[in-house]
Structure 1
Amino acid sequence: MDGEPVPAVPEFGARPVLVVAAVLIVVQLLLAGRYGFHRDELYFMVAGRHLAWGYTDQPPLTPLLARVSVDLFGATPTGLRVVPALLGGLDVLLVALLARELGGGRPAQRLAAVGAACSAIVLGVGHMLSTVSFDLVAWLALALLTLRLLRTGERRWWLAIGAATGLALLNKDLVVLLVPALVPAVWVLGPRRVLRGWWPPAGVLVALAVAAPNLWWEARHGWPELTVAGGISGQDGLANRITFVPMQLLYLSPVLVPVCLAGLRRLWSAPELRWARAFAVGYPVVCLLVLVSGGKPYYALPLLLVPMAAGCEPRVRRPLRRFALWLAFGALLNAVITLPVLPARALPAVNWIYPEQGAQLGWPRLVAAVGQGWAQLPATDRSRAVVFTANYGEAGAIAQYGARYGLPEPYSGHMSFADWGPPPDGADGPVLVVEPAGPSGLTRAFTGCRQVAVADNGVGVATDDQDAAVLLCTGTVEPWSKLWPHLRHYY
């Protein structure tokens, strides 16, 4: 692009885009408290009370956001979900800005905003706090900054790209997929000049400087996130690969697939966007990387919103009435799948597609079942007793609701809960064990176990913790300090 004029961008239609973002935020907040906490949210709130530069399965940003949310808005589902709702509105704004950066006028920007707000991925991550809530914002922001770099050829944008990358790495490591997806594509397809000089290395140094505290923590602790990632691939890799393509369609919306395809064609062949051709291959490359590694299908979704934004300009040149009706239908369907709009008893209709819905049910009732078991302990034994759970969702629920039953802080060997244990060896009294339904081998670590209660979410929805058994055991087969390494698990 040396010597060529910098392509101009249309005026930004801020008002309608901000209206769409605001409507989405309001809808999310109105629905935020209908079911309950998600299992991951319960875990994040406990992690937020153990602030560190890293955790077994994630960098520090999401637990920090959980801590801030609880401190500012309260330890309720609605309070915790103010931040993801705001991030969902920011997703809408960024997708509209992507459409503008790719030459889309005000009608295209409006369509991009509406399309993003109607997509299952934005609806889902805007409803509850997760690592994806900020990760989606980070990917979209990086795509926007990279497009600005490619369009203008101004290499100082590398510093902003580096800072955004470092911040993204403090939340989730998936953003590194953008490097093999886009850098070789820019080298081959151009504009190659943006890769020259000292600005790109300077951007890398900025990214490393911002992410350094977490990288140091990971190195010091033996890179546990790699162990977790390997477990995900080993346990679910085949299922992830089989469902990858269908989930791309469902997590976005089948209604928006033609817009995405038009955007891919436009990014590849439109003369006015030849500077952005790298993004035409970026999404397919990310898909290939996720498929090879056995990662979860949603890992590739953030980059899919770029061709969706690119496809809005050609789509608005055609009649929109029928398309708008289909988009509204798709939005309604996505809302039913991802948001708590159905009665809880009706969730089996969608839980098989999006099991995150069911993971928000029954936690107070599970803790009540543990409370039943605790009530059977003699008062003289309680000072030496321990509550131990199989997974972090159960432990997080007890940490949240256990005080009403007099329960002590729970322990678990799952993910970072293992780092917050073990119990003291002096805690050699009875052990209340929460074990998911079905044999797990967990009771081999304990003696004299008998079932004293069963968890029931009360609405008959099958979840990982429905029918979990509460076992009262007389003790452990070894002191906790020797037993703890064998109780640790990552998935």
Structure 2
Amino acid sequence: MPVPTERTCAATGGAATAPPPFARGPVLLLAGLTALLLVLISGRYGYLSDELYFIAAGKHHLDWGYMDQQPLVPLLAAAIDSAAPGSLLALRSPAALIAAFGIAGTALLARELGADRRAQVIAAAACALSPWLLLSGHWLAAATVEPAQWLAVLWPVARWVRLHRAGIRRDRLLLLAGAVAAVGVQTKFQIVLLCAALLLGVLIAGPRELLRRPALWAGAALAAVAAVPALVWQVGHGWPAVDMAGVVGGENDRLLLPPAVLLYAGPVVGAALCCFGTWCLLRDEQLRHVRFLGWAVLLLTAFHLLAAGRPNYLSGLYGLVFAAGAIGFRQRATARWSWVVWPAFAVSAVVPLALLPITPLPVAARHPQLASYSRMYETGWPELTRTVADAYRSLPPEQRERTAIVAETYHLAAALDVLGPAAGLPPVHSPNRGYWFFGAPPDGATELLYVGAAEPLAPYFAESAAVAQVRTGSLVNLAQGVSVRHYSGPAQPWSRLWPRIRTG
């Protein structure tokens, strides 16, 4: 007996036939316009501090693992910067395409769940106006890639369930999900939590036939094998990822996680669809066959509440809950209430657009409350580099040969590591987070230029003096006010000092 296909089931009127038509025109237009906006503003301010970190890690310290992420994004950032040095357009174009993929992928996931064309557009528009998803589409970072990877796991799983209901076996979809997870573990291990939550959700709510498919476990094995190099690196370095989890937990308040997740989703439409979409996944009869997805949302939220995770750790679920919420809204909205949709989207656009680096820098300097994230993390790096380079050149030549540069934070170190060589600076070190693993200055470095606001090294040197301070005008950012100090006469060599000054 031949195995049923989607086409034959549709022709015979099967129980779960082909999904509703894809809203190709409006969805692709929305995705294209979003990508175009992100490309147009790609060079508006400057590098994000994390982008500098990824470039420095990939170009100067490429490894199988890092304290706070895995090698995929550093490798990609370094490759792009090598091909087009200093080009923000080249560096950020992949991020714009990933953002567009997320918008279209959200609509496709909604379609697999049974959304009609209008519900698909609502879900896609909510994705486009999520403050976090839109802002992260402006730069190349692990936080940019992760939501797209989660979506690329959820879509084949949802499609497998729909086809399974129609009696169609399409197990290669499970292999596809496993292959995406194998790529995802090269970005961050967070995708493992998604896969675990999906499996637990299926165990709770079904369809348990999914757990009996060999392709599922073959995909899981593929992801596990892909994770081996990073796991070996973690073991060899004392599991710094666990230390990083402690750092993150110390930075975040558990009670603030739910409101922050809703704010990142969107102050009006996004937050409403987050709450309503989760409810629909758990209670709506039309979505009963994917109830395991609702359980996955609950499990992941509970985990990050207990672990005090960052709000963006749940951003990979936005496409799913937006899709479910749009379906529920379309089921219940009468003509009388349908008119509120587009005004709500118009109001929701204010916050995400305000976060993008659209405001001219002179205006941002006069109004520090505007575009705070971009202004804080994307400006000030040229001034920092010039200040440190001037201080370095002011040293006598014989001192420069014995001088190391150490920065207080990885933000400062990465900026100097990427921008410093053109200004004549040597490699930069930092005891902060993942940069500590890049290594200490050589023991022969008896002079030190320390770049930072704090002065933790004074007890370890005989002499110190302030030599410069970074000025970025009236523009407030991470570099503003950072001091440069000259230390000499170390009490012990760097190989002994480095383990004592590590910071989280």
Counterpart Cα distance in 2 of 1:74 and 1:355: 25
Q: 1:37 aligns with which of 44, 47, 50?
A: 47
Match of 2:364 in 1: 344
Residue pair 2:257, 2:308 contacting (<8 A) in 1 also: no
Residue pair 2:143, 2:312 contacting (<8 A) in 1 also: no
Amino acid at match of 1:301: S
Return the offset for 1:465.
Answer: 3.8
Q: 1:105 and 1:422, CA in 2 relative to 1: closer, same or farther beyond 3 A?
A: same
Structure 1 SS opposite 2:66: coil
Q: Does 1:103 align with 2:120?
A: no
Q: 1:69 and 1:318, CA in 2 relative to 1: closer, same or farther beyond 3 A?
A: farther
Counterpart Cα distance in 1 of 2:27 and 2:213: 37
Match of 1:276 in 2: 290
Q: Does 1:388 align with 2:406?
A: yes
Counterpart Cα distance in 2 of 1:459 and 1:333: 24
Counterpart Cα distance in 1 of 2:235 and 2:488: 39
* Higher mean C-alpha displacement, 148-157 vs 324-333: 148-157
Per-residue CA shift, 1:119-146, capped at 9, x if unaligned? 1121111011111111011111111122
Match of 1:248 in 2: 261
Q: Does 1:208 align with 2:228?
A: no
Q: 1:332 aligns with which of 347, 350, 368?
A: 350
Return the offset for 1:23.
Answer: 0.8
Structure 2 SS opposite 1:449: strand
Return the offset for 1:251.
Answer: 0.5
Residue pair 1:160, 1:203 contacting (<8 A) in 2 also: yes
Return the offset for 1:419.
Answer: 3.0
Q: 1:318 and 1:383, CA in 2 relative to 1: closer, same or farther beyond 3 A?
A: farther
Match of 2:215 in 1: 199
Q: 1:457 and 1:78, CA in 2 relative to 1: closer, same or farther beyond 3 A?
A: farther
Q: 1:220 and 1:471, CA in 2 relative to 1: closer, same or farther beyond 3 A?
A: same
Match of 1:125 in 2: 136
- CA-atom RMSD, angstroms? 2.3
Return the offset for 1:254.
Answer: 2.4
- Unaligned runs of at least 5 residues, structure 1: none
Residue pair 1:338, 1:357 contacting (<8 A) in 2 also: no
Counterpart Cα distance in 2 of 1:152 and 1:357: 48
Counterpart Cα distance in 1 of 2:416 and 2:79: 21
Match of 1:190 in 2: 206
Amino acid at match of 2:382: P
Return the offset for 1:14.
Answer: 2.0
Q: How many residues align structurally? A: 480
Counterpart Cα distance in 2 of 1:151 and 1:347: 51
Match of 1:457 in 2: 472
Q: Does 1:21 align with 2:21?
A: no
- Unaligned runs of at least 5 residues, structure 2: none
Q: 1:123 and 1:339, CA in 2 relative to 1: closer, same or farther beyond 3 A?
A: farther
Q: 1:369 aligns with which of 350, 372, 387?
A: 387
Residue pair 2:280, 2:287 contacting (<8 A) in 1 also: yes
Amino acid at match of 1:345: A
Q: 1:266 aligns with which of 265, 280, 283?
A: 280
Residue pair 2:355, 2:374 contacting (<8 A) in 1 also: no
Return the offset for 1:209.
Answer: 2.0
Counterpart Cα distance in 2 of 1:24 and 1:105: 22
Structure 1 SS opposite 2:115: coil
Match of 1:222 in 2: 238
What is the TM-score normalised by the length of structure 2?
0.89
* Higher mean C-alpha displacement, 73-82 vs 54-63: 73-82
Q: 1:62 aligns with which of 57, 67, 73?
A: 73
Per-residue CA shift, 1:69-95, capped at 9, x if unaligned? 213443233332112111111111111
Q: 1:421 and 1:268, CA in 2 relative to 1: closer, same or farther beyond 3 A?
A: closer
Q: 1:10 and 1:73, CA in 2 relative to 1: closer, same or farther beyond 3 A?
A: farther
Match of 1:148 in 2: 159
Per-residue CA shift, 1:327-373, capped at 9, x if unaligned? 1221122110244436331563156xx64541112111112221232
Amino acid at match of 1:344: A
What are the residue-to-residue correspondences of 1:79-118 with 2, within 5 Å? 79-118=90-129
Counterpart Cα distance in 2 of 1:244 and 1:94: 26
Counterpart Cα distance in 1 of 2:264 and 2:205: 30
Q: 1:21 and 1:447, CA in 2 relative to 1: closer, same or farther beyond 3 A?
A: farther
Structure 2 SS opposite 1:348: coil
Match of 2:326 in 1: 312
Amino acid at match of 2:267: P
Residue pair 2:380, 2:478 contacting (<8 A) in 1 also: no
Return the offset for 1:442.
Answer: 3.0
Q: 1:397 and 1:332, CA in 2 relative to 1: closer, same or farther beyond 3 A?
A: same
Counterpart Cα distance in 2 of 1:302 and 1:110: 19
Return the offset for 1:231.
Answer: 2.1
Percent of counterpart pairs with the same letter? 32
What is the TM-score normalised by the length of structure 1?
0.91
Return the offset for 1:315.
Answer: 3.4
Match of 2:448 in 1: 431
